[in-house]
A and B are shown apart, each in its own frame.
Chain A
Amino acid sequence: MIFVFFLIFLMLIAAIAASIFKDLISAVIASCMVSLIAAILFYFLQAPDVAMAEAAIGAALTAAIFIIAIRRTERFEE
């Protein structure tokens, strides 16, 4: 139970970090972390199907698409 609260705390920190980072690659990695922790939490809530989809799409493919887009535009905000 304490572990779950720790994960939720980490997830909040990662979400806040994703919104305030100026380096967009770091922001993508932070949002990736949010997805990964969400997948672990889904597993603890006995939803392994959703956890699998979240880990594969949220953590891997979305991050890849964001990074490709960042490579074409600008890496730093403002």
Chain B
Amino acid sequence: MRRIVTILLLIIVALGISLSLAKVPFGTPKTKVGKYYIDEGIEETGAVNIVTSVVVNYRGFDTLGEVTVLFIAAIGLGVVLSTVRKKTARKIEPASLVLYTGCRLLFPLILVFGSYIFIHGHLTPGGGFQGGAIIASGFLLIYLGCRERRINRIASNLAESLGGLTFVVIGLLGLVFGGYFLSNFLPKGTANTLFSAGIIPIIYIAIGFKVGSELAGIIDNLIEES
């Protein structure tokens, strides 16, 4: 009985959502602000990738909030896991030769690719979050393949703190020089070159370091304490 009611309820909700969305045309501009970003974004921010210009420039404060949420989640995980810490000497089984060699071969390439993604965030698709997640997945590979290796906790905490600090300091510098928090006070340069778009690449590099070390720290915490 309960199952039938649940399924009926789900069908009603799905029908309602699909009927209301069926009237909305797909893929056509519906708001003025989106068109404004597409038309004026490159000239105003200097970033060719419009997604980046929205994420870091127009909505930079929201990005700071997102980074803070991730930071709080990582801290919360560390606190929860440190209360149940119980060191049992688990015997580490070595990985197979194929996994070990593949991981040693791929890890530097993954690091380079992740760095490329966040350094070129204002030119090509991607940015700090994506690059950081790719770097963290590289560290996950290290935990799978080279099982006796561990990341340096002090270095990762330092990278995390410096990334967050850089973001806030640049925002405050924008307040000093540009008049509002996170204003783009550096010269924009020529669009489509690496050194352009003012503060956007700097902030994305900071976010890349922060997200990468945070996610790698989460994985390290989980593997160490479990």
Show the binding face of A for B, using Cβ within 8 Å: 48-49, 52-53, 56-57, 60-61, 64-65, 68-69, 71-72
Q: A56 and B222: CB pair below 8 A?
A: no
Judge whether B127 is part of the interface by a CB distance below 8 angstroms.
yes
A56, A64, A68, most chain B CB atoms within 10 A: A56
Docked CA distance A53–B130 (Å): 5
Q: A61-B137, A64-B140, A71-B226 are in contact. Are A48 and B125 (CB under 8 A)?
A: yes
Q: A64 and B219: CB pair below 8 A?
A: yes
22 contacts across the A-B interface (CB closer than 8 A) = A48-B125, A49-B49, A49-B125, A52-B117, A52-B125, A52-B134, A53-B129, A53-B130, A56-B134, A56-B136, A56-B137, A60-B133, A60-B140, A61-B136, A61-B215, A61-B219, A64-B140, A65-B219, A68-B222, A68-B226, A69-B226, A72-B226
Number of B residues, CB within 8 Å of A: 19
Q: B226 and A61: CB pair below 8 A?
A: no
Q: B130 and A49: CB pair below 8 A?
A: yes
Q: A57 and B125: CB pair below 8 A?
A: no
Q: Out of A48, A57, A65, A68, name the residue touching B126 (CB < 8 Å).
A: A48
Contacts of B111 in A (CB 8 A): none
The 8 A-B pairs of least Cβ separation, nearest first, read: A56-B133, A48-B125, A52-B130, A60-B137, A68-B222, A72-B226, A49-B51, A49-B125
Docked CA distance A70–B138 (Å): 22
Docked CA distance A48–B49 (Å): 11
What is the chain B residue whose CB lies nearest that of A72?
A: B226
